[in-house]
Amino acid sequence: MEPMSGLDSAFLFLETPTSPMHIGSLAVIEGSLKFDEFREHLASRLHLVKSLR
């Protein structure tokens, strides 16, 4: 784990109940995708995310 950057710290400090500073996303996937297949694919790629090593 690494210390927060100044920008990340500022976003955390500025967030209030009436001014959320977080984001969300939604993926619409056509066709069939089983959760187990998705989880396996995700697990196979986690080593590529520097902050999760």
pLDDT at 44: 96
Q: Is the dihedral of CA 49, 33, 39, 45 positive or negative?
A: negative
Would residue 38 count as lying in a domain? Answer: yes
In degrees, rounded to 5, the angle at the alpha carbon of residue 37 between the alpha carbons of residues 36 and 40 is 85
Number of domains in the chain: 1
Would residue 23 count as lying in a domain? Answer: yes
Would residue 10 count as lying in a domain? Answer: yes
Would residue 1 count as lying in a domain? Answer: no
Helix (H, G, I), strand (E, B) or coil at 28: coil
- pTM, whole model, 2 decimals? 0.45
Domain boundaries, position 44: 6-52
pLDDT tens for each residue of 1-53: 789 999 989 988 999 989 888 889 998 888 888 999 999 999 999 999 987 76
What value does the CA radius of gyration of the chain take, rounded to a whole number of Å?
16
